[in-house]
Amino acid sequence: MRSRMKGVFWSGVLLFLCTFVSVQPSCPEEMIRIEIQNPNEKPTQLTFNSAFMSPIVNSFLSSVQPNPFPKDLLVGMIKGSKTIQTDTIKEVLQYEIGFLVCVAIGILYIVLMPLIGLFFACCRCCGNCGGRMHQKQKTNISCKRRSFYCSTLLITVLILAGNVCMFLSSTYTTETVMRGSKELTDILENLKSYITTVPEQIQQVTNESTNTVDKVEYNLNEIGPLLGKAIQNGLKVSLDPAFNSITEIADVVNRTSNGLLQLNKTLDLLKPKVDALQANLSAVRQRINNTMQMSDCVNCTTFQPELDKLSLDGSLEFPDQIDLRSAVDKAINTNVTGQLDKGRDFFESIPQTVKKETTQMVSLALLELEGLKQQISGVTKGLPLDVLGDISRPLTDVQNSISRYSPEIERSSQISRAVGLVLSCLILLVVICNFLGLLLGTVGLNAKDNPTERSGTSNCGGIFFMAGVGFSFLFSWIFMLVVLILFIVGGNTYTLVCKPWQNKELIQVIDTPGLIQGFDLSKILNLKTNLTIANVYSDCQKNMPLWTTLHLNELFNLNNMLNVSKYEKQIYQSFEDANINISNITVLSPEVKSQLHNFSGSASTMNFGNITQQMNDLSGTNLSSAAGSLDDLAGKQTSTNISTQLHGEAKDLRDIQTEITSNIMPLMLELNATINNLSAVASQINATVENVLKKVGFAQDVLNYNISQIVKRESMLFIDCQVKIFVAYARWANETITERMGRCGPVAAAVDRSVDLLCKHLVGSLNAFWFSLGWCMIFLIPSIIFSVKLAKYYRRMKYSDVYENNHIKMNPFPKAHLKPELLENEKQPPFTYLHK
């Protein structure tokens, strides 16, 4: 039942994910998608290990156990096909032969070491085994002492090295036990985080599919602004220049109208004043002529040419501006601006028109998308996500159990620390005794002293050696018992668990068919491929996704499930059935075009040169020179009456000139500016009108013949954008499902961390400890031998002997050849040293 539920679960997961073939945003189609949720992993806190000893210990264990991993034996015992019988026991003993030999050696050590110590103590008490306090003085005594000294020093250094390793490995073992519970809790927490993350990743893919459906719904609801804007952009290239040119010609018409109005206004002010001046000037001219006709007027005939020039030429009549005024008025009456406003209103109303024309199609599409959204939200209800909860609950129970037993684990770590320190300190005690013996013996020894007269320092050094020997005999068998127990446990754990796991032999045993009843990944997932735990573990070590690890491609055709062609057909069919009809307009009516032609013709016939000439004639009149000539002529007259009349007439001319300067010339300047502006505007009218008619004609052709193609093209582009949303989501979903979802690296990491905790940290440090302790036990044997030998060279002897040397002449004594029995009764002969 459990297996079937797992198969249903993974089938539901993939069906759920692959059903969500939805969309991405409109153009651009790529959405900003959130990163898929990854599990939170707590890193390991175990930074210490016994790697410095592992190569040596593992090499030793490989030598002790060179046999291959007993896969068949182990499988048979687990399956129960091999019952506990003689053959099975024989196979186990044959496999463990190396360990049995080491155990036998350890047992011999445990048995013999205290016995030898007992015999050694009894022997010394009887005066044997170096117990007799007498030392023969030979020629090579110094050489022997140095040899024993060097040997003892070397062996003590080797024991010290093993003792240092004992301290370190004991510390590592204690720390591993103390932090092991926290490490296991973190490993289980990482597994729970991974199990929790898988549904969250599924939910993320679900949310993304829902978001893309919502995005398409939004695009369809906003089809007016979106598609209408696209159609506007398609028409903008042709309509904008036409609208801008119409705006420009309307501005030209208005400027021309304003110029003509200003011209008429100025003329209305100027003409009465010019007419009045002309009348005054004619009256003054007549009076001058009458004065010059008098008989007593002297040299009056000389002024006659200047008198003929006294006139104000120019009528200020401009008949051409009447025709232009009429053309401008007709152009204004045709309401060019109104035509422009209609065109712009048509352009701005396109989004509303598109929305109105596509209402029915959008409603059908939204109804279908709403059904798809309901389908998406309903899929999660059928997924057996409670299977993950069933896996997570036991992990929580294990975590609670670890927390409950953590105080006991901490107490056991304290006990292991205390035991390790006691054992290490006892070995250190032997090392200290040896070093003190070496130090004090060397410092207090004088080679020329009689052995019976050695210093207390030297004697103390010898006593330290014997103390070290005593401690070695007293505790070494207990140490070896500890080594033996830890060696059996740690060594077999390494050879039967750690080493085969590293070589992937243990996982092959787990993959043995039928080993675990009812457990077959291929059958559980209905796969054709033979899926093994070794393959899954290898893929998880590479952090592969579940799609690849579990070969789910055999269960689900993801490409077929993510095929968006059926959605493409539905969308394209919906848009093809929708007829978006955008009514046409006339940008400029024929009447407006005719009036613009008439306006252009009138502007081109306007004779601004004639106007300028009349203005120059008026402004060129200079009466001051004529008034001066009259004053000169008056000065030549003999008749006072004629002279007075001529002076008065000269004054009248000057008054008229002043009137021209003060009243006529400002208006003439204003009239000249108006004429110049009109001339500048009129020079642009032909080109402007021609440009308007050309661009309006092009825009009208687009509206008449191309608007339907533009609408269809932009509609298809809008459809393509929506389809790309489908394709982009399908591509993202495919990539997420097959490459990123459910990466099982955390599972392999949890297994690896568990194995590291057991093998690298706990078993490794434990093996390093017993190996270091065993190292010390092995070297305690030569340490005992050399310490006993060397102690006699430093301890104070009770009996002396004659020291024979070629360089020292010794006198024979009558009792020099006394038997040892006499010496034992303290009847030793006196002796003397003869020095050169």
Angle in degrees, CA 498, 479, 460, rounded to 5:
140
Residues 465 and 794: their CA atoms lie apart, in Å, by 9
Report the pLDDT value the prediction gives residue 11, as an integer from 0 to 100.
Answer: 38
Angle in degrees, CA 31, 33, 34, rounded to 5:
160
- Divide the 836 residues of the chain into consecutive groups of 10 and give the mean pLDDT of each group: 43 38 44 72 75 87 88 76 66 88 94 90 74 59 85 94 93 88 90 87 79 80 84 81 79 77 75 76 79 77 72 61 72 76 80 81 74 59 61 84 87 89 94 92 74 78 90 92 94 92 86 72 77 88 88 76 66 67 74 75 64 61 74 78 82 79 76 74 75 80 78 80 76 82 89 90 92 94 90 73 47 44 43 36
DSSP class of residue 552 equals: G
- Select from 770, 773, 765, 766 the least CA-distant residue to 49: 765
- How far from chain centre, in Å, is Cα 515? 45
Crossing angle for the helix pair 86-95 and 97-125, to the nearest 10 degrees: 70
Residues 241 and 712: their CA atoms lie apart, in Å, by 23
Q: How far is CA 699 from CA 244, 248, 253, 595, in A?
A: 12, 16, 22, 19
Residues 78 and 232: their CA atoms lie apart, in Å, by 79
Report DSSP letters for 809-825, one per residue.
-----TTTT--HHHHHT
Q: How far is CA 377 from CA 20, 200, 209, 564, in A?
A: 10, 15, 10, 19
- pTM for this predicted structure: 0.68
Q: How far is CA 733 from CA 16, 20, 443, in A?
A: 11, 8, 84
Report the pLDDT value the prediction gives residue 596, as an integer from 0 to 100.
Answer: 75
Residues 539 and 535: their CA atoms lie apart, in Å, by 6
Report the pLDDT value the prediction gives residue 61, as an integer from 0 to 100.
Answer: 92
SS3 of residue 134 by DSSP: strand
Task: Name the token pair of 296.
Answer: 């007593």
Residues 14 and 791: their CA atoms lie apart, in Å, by 82
Task: Name the token pair of 258.
Answer: 């304003």
Q: How far is CA 314 from CA 62, 255, 331, 653, in A?
A: 133, 27, 31, 19
Token look-up 């801008």 returns 244
- 662 CB-near residues (< 8 Å, 6+ apart): none
Buried b (16+ CB within 10 A) or exposed e, 388-400: beeebeeeeeebe
SS3 of residue 808 by DSSP: strand
Report the pLDDT value the prediction gives residue 130, as an integer from 0 to 100.
Answer: 61
Report the pLDDT value the prediction gives residue 320, as an integer from 0 to 100.
Answer: 60
- 380 CB-near residues (< 8 Å, 6+ apart): 16, 202, 203, 206
Residues 784 and 156: their CA atoms lie apart, in Å, by 10
Longest distance between any two alpha carbons in the chain, whole Å: 208
Q: Is the dihedral of CA 396, 402, 407, 408 positive or negative?
A: positive
Report the pLDDT value the prediction gives residue 22, as an integer from 0 to 100.
Answer: 36
